[in-house]
Amino acid sequence: MIKKLTNEQIREIAAAHGFEYGVVKAIYQVESRGSGFLANGQPKILFERHIFRRELQKLGYITLSNEMSKIDPLLCHPRPTQRGGYGSESVQHQRLQNAQKLLLRARPDADENLKAQVRECALKACSWGLGQIMGFNHKLAGFDNLQDFINAMYDSEKAQLQAMINFLKSAGLEKAMKNKDWRAIARAYNGVAYAKFDYHNKLARAYAAA
């Protein structure tokens, strides 16, 4: 059963962090994916092939990452996936699984330690839940280890929103949230092109309607 977020839970999280309810609800409404879960109960994710490759290389697996890129560049590549190339939300967990399986296609004799490291790199290469938080940012979201973060993403939308607020605070946006600096919040979440898509005004309107 998918544990949907309630307004009372939004109020609870906002109060725990010293933020206005309307600010947290506006961020949730504008910057989330609307729902943190797929219809089958899995958390929404988006697999990023360039992050997967980067995480492998951070561990020193340069040759392996290059081999995996040659086998399937849609799953392991130096450049980000182009718009329209991700596939639907419903196929992202399969992409995650397929990325992990690349290891055995490149190294059929891989040991359990290497399998675990590649699995972790793949999980870090996904954005997760309502807040679209990258797995490699799990500590900024308030989790000491990656698996605890993943477990929270599977738990409920409340846990996902809690992680989202933790991440925003870790990113230095606590003052912006208290001052309702919509431009700063929109820039942090959407990059320098935020104004082109009117995110700051969307946040302001959502706050006014909360």
pLDDT at 1: 55
Q: How many domains does the chain have?
A: 2
Q: Which domain holds residue 55?
A: 45-128
Q: Give Cβ neighbours of residue 85 (< 8 Å, ≥ 6 apart).
A: 74
Same domain, residue pair 65 and 118: yes
CA distance 166 to 21: 15
Boundary of a domain, candidates 128, 145, 177 = 128
In the prediction, which pLDDT does 2 show? 63
Looking at the fold, whether 92 and 115 belong to one and the same domain comes out as yes
In sequence order, the 6+-apart residues with CB closer than 8 A to the CB of 84 are: none
One-letter amino acid identity for 170?
S
Tens-digit pLDDT profile for the chain (210 aa)?
568 999 999 999 999 999 999 999 999 999 887 799 999 999 999 999 999 999 999 999 999 999 999 999 999 999 999 888 899 999 999 999 999 999 999 999 999 999 999 999 999 999 999 999 999 999 999 999 999 999 999 999 999 999 999 999 999 999 999 999 999 999 988 889 999 999 999 999 999 999
User: How many of the other CB atoms lie within 10 Å of CB of 149?
Assistant: 25
| pTM score above 0.85 | yes
141: closest CA among 156, 131, 151?
Answer: 131
| Contact of 100 with 90, CB cutoff 8 Å | no
pLDDT of amino acid 3? 85
Residue 143 lies in a domain: no
pLDDT at res. 34: 77
d(C-alpha 205, C-alpha 124), whole Å: 33
53, 122: one domain: yes
Q: Report yes or no on 141 lying in a domain.
A: no
